[in-house]
Amino acid sequence: MNSIDHNHIDQFDLDQYLLGKLAAEESAVLEEHFVDCSQCIHRLQTTRDFLQALRLVAVQDASKAADNPRPEMRRYFWRTPFRNAFAVAVCALLAAAILGVILAINQIRRLRYEVMQAQSISAEWERRFEEERQAALLAHEERQGIERELTAQLRQMEADRQREQEHRAVEAGAPTALMRPGMNVPIFSLNAVTRSEQGPVGSASEVPLPRSPTAFILLLPLEVDLKYEDYRVSISDDRDRRMWSRKGFQPNRYGSLSVVLDSSSFRPGDYLLTVGGVTKQRGLTPLGTYPIRIIKH
């Protein structure tokens, strides 16, 4: 009788015995059984032969690999689980590379878009700046023009004010240069010119005056019928701006109008005196023009 039942012995027990992994007591019990069991002996022999041959094959393969390492190493490598790890690593690297490329492309696109946006914004700001600079220049020029115009208006208003003061003084009886008793008052007799004669430089009558303020008299001979109720005399400067105008003139017995003026109201230059006749029916009728050139010495 064997100490253990044959049915209780499996391949794993036999393997463990051949691999020397059983305890001494377990080995003794198993040996006591299989030494008299042809089936177990047969299985043990087969397993032992397979085990020895398997180890020998491994040794032979290792020896071949040592002699010719590259193909054997490659074969061993591809037969081992490292193949899967290698494949996973390669896939991971590829995935990482692709992901990196995609991210880089996206980053480049985003940066390019931002650069374009920045350029667009910069161009917009540049355009606005240029517009504002142009607007500032225009405003500056306009302001200068307005200043010039205001200055001219101020001067004109100043002159008007002065004339108005003189006029008021005359009306109020205040002694002005015109009203003050004088001597050696220059009298200039002017000649009327027609429209065709007007314009050339040589046609104006020269009126030489001293630089110090003084009164002077202009005689305006009328070369028309004296049928008008009243006469008006106006003075304009060379820019055709009216400086002075007065009605109520009456011709003397020689058919001339006399106008007393203050030299301080005139600067050297060309002026034009215009005489018109006034009737109730027809209003003002131009009768003649008298160009003069004020010269101060």
CA-closest candidate to residue 219, choices 182, 268, 252: 252
Half-sphere exposure of 88 (CA within 13 A, CB side): 5
Touching other proteins, residues 15-44 (CB under 8 A)? 15, 17-21, 28, 31-38, 41, 43-44
Report the length, in residues, of the chain. Answer: 297
Q: Does 73 bind other proteins (CB under 8 A)?
A: no
Q: Does 51 bind other proteins (CB under 8 A)?
A: yes
Asked if 47 and 14 count as a contact pair (C-beta separation under 8 A), the reply is yes
155 contact partners, CB below 8 Å, separation of at least 6: none
- Contact track, other proteins, 74-103, x by CB under 8 A: -----xxx----------------------
Q: Does 146 bind other proteins (CB under 8 A)?
A: no
Distance CA 34, CA 43 (A): 10
Tokens at residue 129, please? 């700046």
Q: Does 45 bind other proteins (CB under 8 A)?
A: yes
CA-closest candidate to residue 187, choices 166, 161, 222, 218: 218
Nearer to other proteins, 80 or 122 (CB): 80
Q: Does 54 bind other proteins (CB under 8 A)?
A: yes
Q: Does 3 bind other proteins (CB under 8 A)?
A: yes
Nearer to other proteins, 57 or 139 (CB): 57
Distance CA 192, CA 218 (A): 12
CA-closest candidate to residue 70, choices 78, 59, 80, 58: 78
Figure out which of the listed residues 1, 23, 183, 201 binds other proteins, where binding follows CB under 8 A: 1
Of the candidate spans 46-54, 154-162, 182-190, 223-231, the one that interacts with other proteins by CB under 8 A turns out to be 46-54
Figure out which of the listed residues 49, 124, 141, 147 binds other proteins, where binding follows CB under 8 A: 49
DSSP 8-state class, residue 269 = E
Which spans of this chain sit near other proteins (rule: CB under 8 A)?
A: 1-3, 10-12, 15, 17-21, 28, 31-38, 41, 43-58, 60, 79-81
